[in-house]
Chain A
Amino acid sequence: MAKLVLPAGLLVLLLLGGPMLLMLRYSFNVFDPLFLMKQAFTFENYARAVADPYYQKILTTTILVALACTALTTLLAYGPAYWLARMESRWKSKLTILTMFPLLVGGVVRSAGYLALLSTDGLVNAALRGAGIIAEPLQLLYTPGAVIFATVGIVLPYMILTLASVIESIPRQVEEAAANLGARPGRSFFRVLMPLSLPGVLAGATLVFILCMNAYATPLLLGGPQFQMMAPAVYEQFARASNWPFGAALAFLLLIVTVILTSLGSSVIARRYRAG
């Protein structure tokens, strides 16, 4: 067995860790207009990424958008997840698969779908004008709202499925016991269901937050030229500026911030609920 596991393990390690290590190494190199990259060991790229107001603003936008999307997604997903988890009919498995369905289509395609939905001659504007609610088309596209709206739509299935599986593991009798002891639905939710589903909320929120921090196609297609987020900025360094060391440093900055925020968030929320 060990003979088989070892080569496979090494391959996995190489696949997972190889590119990361290479990028980490690159992030300490220096950019050279002529040779593109020179071997070095400097923190210059990181210093620039942190100090440059331009990138500070992009990072701030990214964090705010990711936080907003995570909060919205959690709020929106809880109801459907609960409904799905507690469903008894034969539709349950079909609906679960249906929830997974959007994941079969890549984020780029779905972002394009939101583009068609929100543009000035898109579906939403057409419907509003048809109903006589507005005279002139609304500028929905190329706003932070459009990016948040579309990102939430794209990550929603992950949240619903994660939450549903955790809620399913909470015995229904526990909720019935709360009702039997006099808890109205609201009290029952905050005192019983919410604390017991917290692991699911944390897992889902962490997953969604990471996805949002790294969102690429949605901000690019729906945010417009003025709206910048980190993943497109990283891509630009690699593809347009050909500045690999700086691009790698930006990518690692994004990674570090994501790790810090997710672990901070989970520990704060977990502590808060354990105390209550």
Chain B
Amino acid sequence: MKSLELVNIRKDYGGAVAVAGMSMQIARGELVSLLGPSGCGKTTTLRMVAGFVAPSAGSVLIDGRDVTRLAPYERDTALVFQSYALFPHMTVAQNVGFGLEMRKVGRAEREAQSLEALRRVRLEHLADRYPRQLSGGQQQRVALARGLVLNPAVFLLDEPLSNLDAKLRGEVRSEIRALQQSLELTTLMVTHDQEEALTMSDRLVLMEGGRVRQAGTAQDLYERPADAFVAEFVGRSNVIEGRAEGGGFRTACGTLLPAAAAGAAGGSFYAIRPEKIVLAREDAGEGVGGALREILYLGAQTEYTVMLGQTPVTVIAATPGPDDALAGLRTGDPVRLSWPGASARLLGA
């Protein structure tokens, strides 16, 4: 049985369409990320699930029950707000116990459960503090505990990491994932950070302009993007315009690339990931010739920009060691690029 199901939900604001008919299903215990550029309707979708926004059409089902017309307080969802939205006049323990209090759980039981939830996010020692006495990361974990303690049918996260610094983000990311898996929480997470979505989710739903562009596992979206938009949004990709021709692909500026082994026949976009390309010196003899325009040293890796005619192509490779053939490369040097046709895909727009 599906735990959360959206059936063709839609939201119009006046004439503007925020969500243009979305359908998706989340199985029990699964974490699905809603990913997409700013303004594509992620938050609106999440708020329709929580009940804060009434859909213009379509329905929301939780555990098979239609909840479309139910008020937020009648739905078994727990939403972790981007701003945390802790109650400033209550202690951490009271914040976490609030949902239980509303469910008329007795005081002793409530305190025991709140403490257990706080232990899960390793904050039991701060139970008597007020939210203003906590750091951002700690507030974030209180907000998580406040939702977790209710063991909700659907757990909702709105950009849960966006207010944290880079280091903390990594930590909290794996923490949320571990909690979600150990409690088998059905979770819908909104993010516009594709790395977050790739690392945390069982499945991703990529939205654009209020619609689903592609849904699937991280591998599906990364290895088998449905179109040029997906290829560019998820991970990095060289998307080159042109057309298939004989045994290859002719770019708009005339260079012939190895034939793509997969994708939409007749597609006018050719996608190849930067890390799938092998960079070699001119004298290697194999591959497409080009000129090196830029070298960006990233530590373990180096990013090269190579011009194939007028088309820039990004290549990412391990930074060469001192004895490596590529060690002495400079901008302007002639180079050769090669990749197996199986790594490239033909895509529609």
> Which secondary structure dominates chain A's binding surface?
helix
Within B74-101, the residues touching A (CB, 8 Å) are 77-79, 81, 83, 85-89, 98-99, 101
Whole-angstrom distance between the Cβ of B149 and the nearest chain A Cβ: 10
Contacts of A192 in B (CB 8 A): 87
Chain B residue with Cβ nearest A182: B102
Q: Is there an interface contact between B98 and A178, defined as CB atoms closer than 8 Å?
A: yes
Q: Is there an interface contact between B89 and A195, defined as CB atoms closer than 8 Å?
A: yes
Contacts of B79 in A (CB 8 A): 176-177, 180
Q: Which of A177, A179, A181, A196 has the most CB of B within 10 A?
A: A181
Whole-angstrom distance between the Cβ of B250 and the nearest chain A Cβ: 53
Q: How large is the interface on A (under 10, 10 to 19, 20 to 34, 35 or more residues)?
A: 10 to 19
Q: Is there an interface contact between A177 and B81, defined as CB atoms closer than 8 Å?
A: yes
Q: Is there an interface contact between B71 and A181, defined as CB atoms closer than 8 Å?
A: no
Cβ of B18 within 8 Å of any chain A Cβ, yes or no, is: no
Whole-angstrom distance between the Cβ of B304 and the nearest chain A Cβ: 45
Q: Which of A179, A187, A196 has the most CB of B within 10 A?
A: A179
Q: Is there an interface contact between B88 and A177, defined as CB atoms closer than 8 Å?
A: no
* B29-69 contact mask (Cβ, 8 Å, vs A): 1 or 0: 00000000000000000000011100000000000000000
Whole-angstrom distance between the Cβ of B190 and the nearest chain A Cβ: 14
Cβ of A267 within 8 Å of any chain B Cβ, yes or no, is: no
Chain B residue with Cβ nearest A170: B88
Which of these, A180, A181, A191, A196, contacts B88 with CB under 8 Å? A196
Q: Is there an interface contact between B102 and A196, defined as CB atoms closer than 8 Å?
A: no
Within A215-238, the residues touching B (CB, 8 Å) are none
Contacts of B52 in A (CB 8 A): 176, 179
Bound complex: CA of A176 vs CA of B81, how far in Å?
A: 9
Chain B residue with Cβ nearest A198: B89
Bound complex: CA of A181 vs CA of B148, how far in Å?
A: 11
Bound complex: CA of A179 vs CA of B71, how far in Å?
A: 8
* Given known A180-B78, A181-B98, contact A174–B146 (CB-CB < 8 A): no
Q: Is there an interface contact between B89 and A180, defined as CB atoms closer than 8 Å?
A: no
Chain A residue with Cβ nearest B79: A180
* Given known A181-B78, A182-B103, contact A171–B83 (CB-CB < 8 A): yes
* Given known A176-B52, A178-B98, A196-B88, contact A184–B83 (CB-CB < 8 A): no
Chain A residues packing against B (C-beta within 8 Å) = 171, 173-174, 176-184, 187-188, 191-192, 195-196
